[in-house]
Chains A and B, each alone.
Chain A
């Protein structure tokens, strides 16, 4: 079992608009990309638990041309509203680093 941080070249998060948090995972090889696509830890149900959102609200889209996986989910707090922790959403990728693939 490898950790995501060991097999991906990019693990990043960023808002896709103030209501949506999006994550990009990019891989150096087709093998790593395929392994990540199959990993139970990167399915909507597991990601929903990690970020405390409903599984139906998590969308996982692989994009072969970029050997990348896109994850999108609603933000718990609208970007920049009182009590927000991360206006750009750029530091929400951290719990993904140690996921087992």
Chain B
């Protein structure tokens, strides 16, 4: 009997959910995972991705995590789940959840199965979208930027190397209906990974979603926060939380505070299946390390909405790295850079963008700087160049470097050179550069057709 079928047949009234990883592939802490498995959870969930690391991974189809550590983490949760014969659900395969990420993850899963002689039913959920389908929403005026300003055209959508829809519970429920042991999904809501099974089993949706929202980040909701596996236990009234690392305490305040994490609104969360509100939630300490949560509310959506993420190539990046400590050079740095850019453009023809960052002055700030002179003992100069062709970006970087080294300026005494190189070459290949071309929400009444589910015997 498959793990999902066995769990659905058993119908436990108290459900133990183990969150093994908030982003699988960076190294799952072993002790806490072992402690979690020893508690015999009813199922294991892992999130494997995020938009945090930027548009490059969705665009390139690469993982942000290293192949060897990713495979190690996958093996740890797969072997653990098979030993207990409990369902394993993994969302946002391979960092960004597009087809290449999903394929690479499935390859690793099959390889681990061979190496450890594991046999199981594997369900797969795809979440790639076509530019044509997203374009329909755009044409209908139903494609809305999520939380900021990102104008998008059909040309932008067509330019996306990968476009994905972030799936909610419904595709997982279709996968669960196939009675698998393991589900690997493309781009998925972190919550859906943990909410779909308890939802299907009839647990109260407000508690299920609130639980899922908190444990998808494992022990980040604790004091002190960390990446150790987290156990949630759903009961008839709510759920309790416990970190599998004894040093981490889930306190009422630390759990409540987690509602703020990476959210624009700490009180109301819109998911494809509905909206969770936590303003009436109550957090009660069971002891020093465990908190029980009740009282969130859930409103099911009348129409399914899907978040669309797309990443488009903008060119190829070359990066120049240099430092300086000369006070007169630092004082005149901005006009000097403008002059060197002009010289570079005069010598290296073509279409490219130059973005300087001046660390020590304002390399980090996106805020409004106070006017007036800035004093810095040293400044780190990072020059980013993006061109259509990698060779052009590198040509501009090399020329920029040499003219910056020897550029004259008023009162110059450092005629040996204006900048210090930490190593050579100081110009590095940055690879293909991408941008998020879509980060929007669209209605998806056709979500059953958009996200196909398949099953295979491993």
Contacts and interface: CB of A to CB of B under 8 A. Distances in A.
Interface of A: 10, 14-22, 24, 26, 49-52, 59, 61, 63, 65-68, 70, 72, 74-83, 85-89, 91-92, 94-95
Contacts, number: 145
A70 B147 CA distance: 14
Interface string B51-64: 11111100000000
Contacts of B260: 22, 24, 63, 66, 68, 70
Given A51-B368, A68-B260, A74-B147, 20 more contacts: A16-B147, A17-B146, A18-B148, A20-B264, A50-B367, A59-B265, A63-B267, A66-B259, A66-B266, A68-B257, A68-B266, A81-B436, A82-B314, A82-B315, A82-B433, A87-B52, A87-B53, A91-B364, A92-B366, A95-B367
B327 interface: no
A66 B434 CA distance: 37
Interface in B26-61: 51-56
B366 A17 contact: no
A66 to B, nearest CB: 4
Most buried by A among B51, B267, B367: B367
Range class of the B interface residue count: 35 or more
A18 to B, nearest CB: 5
Pairs A-B, 7 closest by C-beta atoms = A19-B148, A80-B54, A74-B148, A20-B147, A72-B264, A66-B257, A65-B256
15 contacts: A18-B436, A19-B147, A19-B436, A20-B146, A22-B262, A51-B366, A51-B367, A70-B265, A70-B266, A76-B366, A77-B366, A78-B439, A80-B53, A87-B52, A89-B366
Interface SS of chain B: loop
A33 to B, nearest CB: 12
Contacts of A24: 257, 260-261
A26 B366 contact: no
